[in-house]
A and B are shown apart, each in its own frame.
Chain A
Amino acid sequence: SAVISQKPSRDICQRGTSLTIQCQVDSQVTMMFWYRQQPGQSLTLIATANQGSEATYESGFVIDKFPISRPNLTFSTLTVSNMSPEDSSIYLCSVEVQDTANTGELFFGEGSRLTVL
């Protein structure tokens, strides 16, 4: 298993500003992901945070808007840049842990709820 700490847990932001979300894992993990969960919707993958190289972004998400850092195997940050009200969402950090059957199970942080005014 993995214990994930995310902060901030929630924030209210002004339009045009940027906010960085931190994700700390209690063990070294290879795969770390950032998801977005908009109100009433399911989880959408933003990007895979790669240690030592640039993040891999999904269609519809770009580095300029969502820069990601992954300086080591236990920590990552996601920045939401130049925010607009459409960015109001829950942002979740997730890690994949392989169990003894080599099944990749995802563990999630508790999320960062951003409201952009």
Chain B
Amino acid sequence: GQNIDQPTEMTATEGAIVQINCTYQTSGFNGLFWYQQHAGEAPTFLSYNVLDGLEEKGRFSSFLSRSKGYSYLLLKELQMKDSASYLCAADQTGANNLFFGTGTRLTVIP
């Protein structure tokens, strides 16, 4: 079967660092996406990992371990505007679509 687990909610302080974990089980795996979704808005692309390791993009970094079925999204120097849901999504072999996790709702507090 297929399954993606990520924490439902997290809270962090402005200026701090937060790591959002995601574990996945899929029948065939091409890569892993992270999307950000602010309340009432469309999801927007953050990152894509296909190889093991860390991909850094400004304040956001994403890590993948294919052998462990594990990824994380690291947000540095948190800002209030980073309060959003963060969706982990697996790109499955032979499928046209992404399989999404339920998302992690991050709240950044002053």
Q: Which residues of A contact B (CB under 8 A)?
A: 4, 31, 33, 41-45, 48, 56, 58, 92, 96, 103-111
Contacts and interface: CB of A to CB of B under 8 A. Distances in A.
- Please name the 6 residue pairs, one residue from A and one from B, whose CB atoms are nearest each other, closest first: A108-B42, A42-B102, A42-B100, A43-B100, A45-B97, A110-B42
B42 A92 contact: yes
Contacts of B101: 42
Contact of A41 (B45, B91, B102): B102
Contacts of B100: 42-44
- Chain B CB within 10 A, most for which of A44, A45, A92, A106: A106
B101 to A, nearest CB: 6
Contacts, number: 43
Given A42-B102, A110-B42, A111-B42, A105 B48 contact: yes
A104 B31 CA distance: 10
Contacts of A107: 45
Interface residues of B, number: 19
B98 interface: yes
B28 to A, nearest CB: 15
B42 A109 contact: yes
Interface string B68-110: 0000000000000000000100010000111011110000000
